[in-house]
């Protein structure tokens, strides 16, 4: 067999969650909540099943859900995406990202990616014959040097992949960053893939900077989003993407043969649930309380950190403890201390990333207290 992805191994999320189970460790590695999802949402999905939403959804998604998504963009960003032509419901953000890349990347096209990067971006580009052009961001601030971005844009640049709030670093892009992105892409054919799955998890009163707030950027961008993150149901694998019609019509050509459509009763249940905007507006304070609880508890530990500004992840720097490679350190933490984390270097071609591991704080307060006790003892 000639592998199409010779350098790719099993994803770190599967590896670390399996290791956590094997060693009976607290699992703060893979990003998912360990508390129950809202019964109100679950009841609405069973109601949809009882009401007959059990056959294929329309290819672009249940219309009530697309209307709900449209209303959200009007409410939060004063930005219009037409439900008929500019919003498509997907099997999680992962499928949206893969389908966007397949629909637009031709052999030899260059795709700019900021590293560390979420792990599904690069394989999608490689499988479609694209060439990755990495831009390295560094701990602890992971700030973009826009002069460097300008220097990497060529006539072959087809796409720039953006992720704010950023997994794994927990940093967010400012309005100035978005303006720079807009300036550099203006009058080009570059498509921006803006992964905004953590748009509702931004802390300390900061505003999420969506590409849809910047008119020129919006015209060249896809936004991808995930109900798994927003409604604490990562196992449902439902998300969506939005883009201007010229881009979305190309997306749908691929989407219809990629999955055709996604789980219908869950879409209808989510549509009914999100009619109440409080279901997603409350997320910032919900997760900020968890971040603050956790960080207060580990403030005297030997781990160094800058508080996460968004996402449900916190990165911890451990060079005061050991100079072990982060993959070895993360494995040892799981085996010997019963706490699973994600080593940052896996998002970064296994380069050492200044001794940093990522923890997920979408956990019960009880789990966070236990995790903090472990970290304080290291």
Binding site residues, ligand GLN, CB under 6 A: 11, 13, 30-31, 167
Q: Does 362 bind ligand PMP (CB under 6 A)?
A: no
**13 interface partner picked from ligand PMP, ligand GLN, none, CB below 5 to 8 A per type:** ligand GLN
Burial 160-198 (b: 16+ CB within 10 A, else e): bbbbbbbbbbbbbbeeebbebbbebbeeeebbbbbbbbb
Q: Does 31 bind ligand PMP (CB under 6 A)?
A: yes
Q: Does 173 bind ligand PMP (CB under 6 A)?
A: no
Provide, rounded to whole angstroms, the least separation between the CB of residue 300 and ligand GLN. Answer: 27
Q: Which of 61, 239, 265, 343 binds ligand PMP (CB under 6 A)?
A: 239
- Bridge partners (DSSP) of residue 304 are 317
Residues 151-170 that bind ligand PMP (CB under 6 A): 163, 167
Residues across the chain: 378
Residue 87 CA to residue 270 CA, distance in Å, equals 15
Q: Which of 109, 126, 195, 326 binds ligand PMP (CB under 6 A)?
A: 195
Residue whose C-beta lies closest to ligand GLN: 31
Kind and range of the H or E run holding 142: none
Provide, rounded to whole angstroms, the least separation between the CB of residue 234 and ligand GLN. Answer: 7
Q: Does 261 bind ligand PMP (CB under 6 A)?
A: no
**Site size toward ligand PMP, by CB under 6 A:** 14
Q: Which of 61, 228, 265, 269 binds ligand PMP (CB under 6 A)?
A: 228
Kind and range of the H or E run holding 258: helix 245-258
Count of C-beta atoms within a 10 Å radius of residue 20: 20
DSSP state of 168: T
* Between 27 and 185, CB nearer to ligand GLN: 27
Please work out, in degrees rounded to the nearest 5, the angle formed at the alpha carbon of residue 334 by the alpha carbons of 331 and 335.
85
**Cβ contacts of 7 within 8 Å, gap of 6 or more:** none
Residues 75-104 that bind ligand PMP (CB under 6 A): 92-94
Q: What are φ and ψ of residue 182, in 5° steps?
A: -60, -45
* Between 28 and 60, CB nearer to ligand GLN: 28
Residues that bind ligand PMP (CB under 6 A): 31, 92-94, 118, 163, 167, 195, 197, 226, 228, 234, 237, 239
């Amino acid at each position: 067999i000639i592998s199409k992805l010779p350098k790719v191994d099993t994803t770190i999320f599967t590896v670390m969650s399996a290791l956590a189970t094997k060693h009976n460790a607290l699992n703060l590695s893979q990003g998912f909540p360990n508390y129950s999802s809202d019964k109100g949402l679950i009841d609405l999905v069973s109601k949809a099943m009882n009401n007959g939403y059990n056959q294929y959804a329309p290819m672009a998604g249940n219309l009530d859900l697309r209307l709900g998504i449209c209303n959200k963009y009007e409410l939060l960003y004063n930005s219009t995406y037409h439900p008929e032509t500019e919003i498509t419901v997907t099997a999680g953000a992962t499928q949206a990202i893969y389908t966007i890349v397949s629909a637009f990347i031709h052999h030899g096209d260059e795709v700019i990616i900021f590293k560390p990067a979420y792990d599904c971006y690069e394989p999608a580009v490689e499988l479609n014959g694209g060439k990755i052009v990495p831009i390295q961001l560094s701990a602890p601030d992971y700030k973009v040097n826009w002069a460097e971005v300008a220097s990497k844009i060529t006539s072959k640049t087809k796409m720039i992949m953006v992720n704010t709030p950023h997994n794994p670093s927990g940093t967010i892009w400012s309005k100035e960053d978005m303006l720079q992105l807009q300036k550099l892409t203006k009058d080009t054919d570059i498509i921006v893939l803006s992964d905004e799955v953590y748009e509702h998890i931004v802390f300390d009163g900061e505003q999420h900077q969506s590409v849809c707030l910047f008119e020129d950027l919006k015209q060249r961008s896809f936004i991808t989003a995930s109900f798994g993150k927003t409604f604490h149901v990562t196992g449902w694998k439902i998300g969506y993407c939005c883009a201007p019609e010229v881009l979305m019509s190309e997306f749908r050509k691929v989407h219809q043969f990629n999955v055709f459509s996604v789980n219908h009763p869950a879409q209808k249940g989510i549509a009914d649930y999100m009619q109440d905007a409080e279901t997603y507006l409350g997320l910032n304070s919900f997760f900020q309380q968890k971040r603050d609880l956790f960080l207060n508890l580990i403030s005297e530990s030997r781990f160094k950190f800058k508080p996460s500004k968004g996402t449900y992840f916190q990165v911890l720097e451990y060079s005061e403890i050991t100079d072990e490679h982060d993959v070895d350190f993360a494995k040892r933490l799981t085996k010997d201390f019963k706490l699973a984390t994600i080593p940052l270097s896996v998002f970064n071609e296994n380069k050492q990333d200044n001794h940093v591991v990522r923890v997920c704080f979408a956990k019960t307060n009880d789990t966070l207290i236990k995790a903090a006790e472990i970290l304080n003892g290291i």
